[in-house]
Amino acid sequence: MEIVAFGVQADERPLLEQAFAGRHQVRCLDVFLDRDTAPIAHGYEVVSTSVNDDLSAEVLQTLAAGGTKMVAQRSTGFNNIDLEAAADLALTIGRVSAYSPYAVAEFAWLLALAVNRRLVPAANRTRNFDFRLDGLMGRDLHGRTAGVLGTGKIGTAFARIAHGFGMQLLGWDLVENPECAALGMRYVPRERLFAEADLISLHVPLTEDTRHLVDAAALAAMKDDAILVNSSRGGLIDTAALVETLKARRLTGVGLDVYEEEAGLFFYDKSLDVVGDDTLARLMTFANVLVTSHQAYFTEEAVGQIIRTTVANVEDHLAGRTSAHLLVTRGQLPAAVR
């Protein structure tokens, strides 16, 4: 059988082809799935997608009409998929429940350290043989307070690194994690976390309840010299409110690997285009803001695990098996996802 995979990165392609070798052929496309590209999948029983593909009801209808029976998403997040529409169309939807938490946690720390120590401006200066230190002073993180919103596997990995730095730990989650508690983390209401943390890192999924978790009120509660990092989902932050906060000369630094309107931008080369997103354009003008293109997960270990799980999801579908990675099984939507 031949599978079509959308949104495949150049470094990801050989790993994907190798994983399916001897099992199925895989047609790797660098274009993303949307209403215009969906007809390409006509005749393919299995379609593999990335987190920035469009799996709205309209696109899913096109896939189903073309004979697609399964969508195997190569990510943990699935906020881009209309699961109820998939159930109505009797599709099977798979995802990757978990992969290397260290990939994302380590990258979140990379962002935090880079904005704290003004790494990008410093590197840009030295490339021009400007070796002054003016404006590059950072702060010791030892002894300061890290606030972790979401203490699952990634949040816990982030907290362990913070503990290694000698930081105090505040946490917020629906359920307390004993591993974090063992590190000395104190679970507090999120309002208190916003007010007391020197460094705040987001590690929660994007749901209706968490959309704009960091809104104008949360930003106003933060310390003027706080550092904010988001390596989870862009919609967790109200970007317009963040821009206003930065314009008021508040926050020491912001590190973002995700952006709420990243679809159609991230993973593309827009260097020769006129980008019409005024909010993103304004955000990029701040010297204390570092934006990367959703690459926190992009390590050999994490991508390898994502691909292995994707292969397993396809094999389970073809064999009629169910697993914890399936969000919709032949039109049946688990109660936990409804």
pLDDT recorded at residue 332: 72
pLDDT recorded at residue 258: 97
pLDDT recorded at residue 338: 45
Model confidence, pTM:
0.90
Report d(CA 234, CA 257) in Å as an integer.
Answer: 8
Domains 2-99+300-328 and 101-291 share a fold: yes
Report d(CA 41, CA 71) in Å as an integer.
Answer: 11
CA distances from 136 to 39, 116, 125, 229, 245 (A): 51, 9, 11, 19, 21
List Cβ neighbours of 142 (8 Å cut-off, separation of 6 or more): 165, 166, 167
Report d(CA 294, CA 300) in Å as an integer.
Answer: 15
Sheet of 168-172: strand order equals 186-187, 168-172, 145-149, 199-202, 227-230, 253-256, 289-291
| Tokens at 261, concatenated | 């309107």
Q: Looking at the domain covering 101-291, what would its CATH class be?
A: alpha beta
CA distances from 41 to 14, 31, 62, 67, 88 (A): 21, 12, 9, 8, 19
The one-letter amino acid code at 248 reads A
Residue 242 φ/ψ, nearest 5 degrees: -65, -40
Place of tokens 């020491």: 252
Place of tokens 């939507």: 333
Report d(CA 330, CA 64) in Å as an integer.
Answer: 12
Residues in the chain: 338
Report d(CA 200, CA 190) in Å as an integer.
Answer: 11
2-99+300-328: CATH topology is Rossmann fold (3.40.50)
Residue 214 φ/ψ, nearest 5 degrees: -100, 90
The C-alpha angle with vertex 335 and arms to 332 and 73, in degrees rounded to 5, equals 60
pLDDT recorded at residue 291: 97
Domain spans in the chain, listed from the N-terminal domain onward: 2-99+300-328, 101-291
pLDDT string in tens for the chain (338-residue length): 999 999 999 999 999 999 999 999 999 999 999 999 999 999 999 999 998 899 999 999 999 999 999 999 999 889 899 999 999 999 999 999 989 999 999 999 999 999 999 999 999 999 999 999 999 999 999 999 999 999 999 999 999 999 999 999 999 999 999 999 999 999 999 999 999 999 999 999 999 999 999 999 999 999 999 999 999 999 999 999 999 999 999 999 999 999 999 988 998 889 999 889 999 999 999 999 999 999 999 999 999 999 999 999 999 999 999 888 989 887 676 644 54
Residue 26 φ/ψ, nearest 5 degrees: -130, 125
What are the residue numbers of the active site?
Answer: 233, 262
